[in-house]
Structures are given as C-alpha cells and as structure tokens.
Amino acid sequence: MSLRWFLVVFSALILAGCDSTSTEEGFAGLGQSEGTDGFTQPGPDTGLTFPDDYGAHPDHRIEWWYLTANLETDSGEPVGVQWTQFRQSLVPPSEQSARAPEDWPLQAVWMAHSALSFQGQHRFAERLARGGVGQGGVQLEPFAVWLDHWQLEAAGPPDTWRLSVQAGNDQPWGYDLTLRIARPPVAHGANGFSAKSESGQGSMYFSLVDIQIDGEITLNGQTYPVQGKGWFDREWSSQFLKAGQQGWDWFALHLDSGDKLMAFRLRDDQGGYQAGTWIPAVGEPVPLGQQDFALEPLDRSGEVPVRWRLRLPAQSLDIQVTAPTGDYFNNGLFPYWESPVRVDGSHTGVGYMELTGYASP
C-alpha cells in the first residue's frame, strides 16, 4: 500500500462518522455510530484495570495516549508541550484477518501529534503508521508507546517515564523530558466511564494529573533546560459522540492551590453536554455534572474562543482561562486548537486547552 493510498484510506476512515463531519472536527467524527458494529462499547459497569489499561484495546474502535506539559526555562519563560498518539481499529476482532504478518493485513492505523509552544512560536508535527509492522505501537512490559522514533517509555525507577520527540526538517525542534508520576490515576465519570451525552455514548477515561517534569527542549538551534508539571490522559471507546455533536472544548488545569480541574463541553445545536472532575489537593475526586459548573467564552480570535469564564459554585471557583496571543492550531490532517493557558481570578494557575470543530485561519 502506497503512502498516498494510506493517507486516503485513513482520511476516509476519520470522516466516516457521519455525513456532516468536517475536517475541523478531527477525531470527533470517529465517535459517531456508523462503523461501530462488532466493537466493544464501554459503559458504567466496565471499570478500570491497572496496569492493563495503559495498553491498547483492539476490541475498541478508537483510543489515545495524551500528554500536555506546562514548563519553564531556567529564566522563567513559559513553555508548552503536547504529545498524542492515536490508534484506530479498521475491523473488529471477529473480522480480523488470519493471514500471515508478511501479507500485511491492515487491521489498525496509528497517528502521532507533537507540538511545542515557546517564545511566541507554535511548532507542530504529525506522523502516520500502519499497524502490524512495528512502526507504531504500545506495549505494557516495559511500558512504551511509539511511532518511529517518537517515544514515551518507562525509564528505570518506578513511576518514571521518558518522552523523546525530534521533529522538523529545515528547522529541527523537539524535546527530551523525564516524567515522574506523583499521584495515582484519577478515574473520570462513573468508575472511569465518562459520559459524552445524555443518550449513553461515552468513553473510558483516566488521567495522571500530577506529573513532575524536567529535561530540555530544542528550538532554533538552541537547547533550553526546562522543568514544570504535566497531565497525562488515557481514553478509549467505540462510539463516544452522538449524531449532531460538532466538536469539543476541553480544559486541564493545574491550580496554584494544588487542586486540579478537568472540564469539557461537547457542542451541538441543542445546548451541548458538559462534564468534568474536580480533583482537590487533598481528598477524593469529585465528578462534575451538567449543572455543577458554568463555562462561557469571553473573547475570540476569529472563530476560536481564546478566553473563557469558568465557574464552580460548590468549590467557590470563578476563573478566567486565557490562551496566549498567537495561532495555536495543529494544522495536520484535521486541524484543532491546542494551547497552554493561564488561569486568573479566584484561583490562579496554568493548564492546557483543546478546541475542535472551529475553522482555522
């Protein structure tokens, strides 16, 4: 299979969720109902199993491993890092080919995204691979997620990972980071099942919300030592959106109080669906439902809401979440906004914001 044909097939699969899916929706289209027959759909009774759920779920249609990091250089300059690896099953397990590996049965595809935001620049790179030939994959022992030479992998001491990415041709950039996990996984929703509508669609979803990071980034021929904090997500499903949902607004926030917050809104013509998790510095995580918080866009850059007001009355939280000035679209096959953010108001802090379904400039 040629690379060109691979890209055509991969694009068609992404867009197959429903007739109205646009490229701006990106992976949102994968959550729709068409093409899900034969795949497992999780629910509130599925539950999480560790460490197995760090690995792949080939009986599910779509999943991803995702890291964002809010870092600083030694001089205090802010740095944003994003890395994501996606796996897309092409056929359910019951229909997977029994042909020998040398026949290259195409049963899954992989896509990886990497981004670096520093000194007003936003660099993005995308890589694609077919499954079954070792170019991309996931393993549990020792833990590793890779596509070519982009790798997230266990690094010696328990709860320590290394993330290494080098990208760019004429203007190379990248990062080499050590991640130290300081808190057990946080399950979102009901026992890890994160509902995405009132109709029952959803995904299994957990996060590592307290990761201490140090290492270095490279940009414009210079290397900078960095340190800061990270957030890691694992999510998988076979149908996590309902028809008519147009995209999502997602936030992961590190507050200076030590508290953490994950919140998302899925947009449609009927007002949308929202949920989240309040993660106190001490104590158990608190699931957030439709009525537990208010999310309001305040300012836009073109179509993109770049400043938001977010209120959680029960937690006495009333904050503004603001992206830095600039263009933070990841302009790959499916453009979406991915930026670090600053938090001000009743609480202060930093975090990340992902927005899909908006037109890029």
Candidate from 39-43, 49-53, 313-317 with smallest mean pLDDT: 39-43
Asked if the model's pLDDT at residue 26 lies above 50, the reply is: no
Domains of the chain: 3-355 (2.40.370.10)
Confidence of residue 17 (pLDDT cuts 50, 70, 90): very low
Q: 6 or 157: which carries more pLDDT confidence?
A: 157
Asked if the model's pLDDT at residue 361 lies above 80, the reply is: no
pLDDT score recorded for residue 95:
67
Q: Could you read off the pLDDT of 89-148 as tens digits, one per residue?
A: 887 776 665 554 555 556 789 999 999 999 999 999 999 987 667 789 999 999 999 999
Asked if the model's pLDDT at residue 73 lies above 70, the reply is: yes
Confidence of residue 18 (pLDDT cuts 50, 70, 90): very low
Q: Mean per-residue pLDDT for 223-243? A: 89
What's the DSSP call for residue 133? S
Distance from C-alpha of 139 to C-alpha of 154, rounded to nearest angstrom? 10
Distance from C-alpha of 68 to C-alpha of 352, rounded to nearest angstrom? 7
Q: Could you read off the pLDDT of 146-156 as tens digits, one per residue?
A: 999 999 999 98
Candidate from 6-10, 196-200, 224-228, 327-331 with smallest mean pLDDT: 6-10
Do the beta carbons of residue 249 and residue 305 sit within 8 Å? yes
What is the maximum span of the chain, computed from C-alpha positions, in angstroms? 60
pLDDT score recorded for residue 170:
81
Mean pLDDT of the chain: 87
Q: Mean per-residue pLDDT for 66-87? A: 98
Candidate from 14-18, 85-89, 188-192 with smallest mean pLDDT: 14-18
Beta bridge partners of 78: 72
Residues 6 or more apart from 222 whose CB is under 8 A from it?
none
Percent of the chain predicted with pLDDT > 70: 84
Look at residues 60, 5, 27, 105 and name the one whose alpha carbon lies nearest to residue 334: 27
Sign for the pseudo-dihedral over CA of 86, 91, 94, 100 = negative
Rank 158-162, 194-198, 239-243 by mean pLDDT and report only the highest.
Answer: 158-162
